Structure 1
């Protein structure tokens, strides 16, 4: 059985500053989490990015 090759991160998309549970993020702020860059949709604190349509974060792709 062939082993799938992992997709390397996009070289043009470097990771932003790591997400912090204690930081306050407002709309447009960016952070990296679990190998992806994320953009805050509104004010949030201690809500980890998770890709939910209803969450505070928009997935900006791998980094």
Structure 2
């Protein structure tokens, strides 16, 4: 995903039985550029997911 400044990531589960549940929202900032792998936990609605991500420069061409 490409972005400038910051990106908001929101995680939902998809339910057939009831409404989709909001599991959490995080903000990823360009200030995290080249700082290695980060992790954020999503634990809304009794979930337990860990998102691992890294912010790297975009290579064009």
- TM category, shorter: under 0.3
* TM-score normalized with structure 2 length: 0.26
* TM-score normalized with structure 1 length: 0.26
Q: Comparing both structures, which one devotes a greater share of its residues to strand? A: 2
Q: Which has the larger radius of gyration?
A: 2
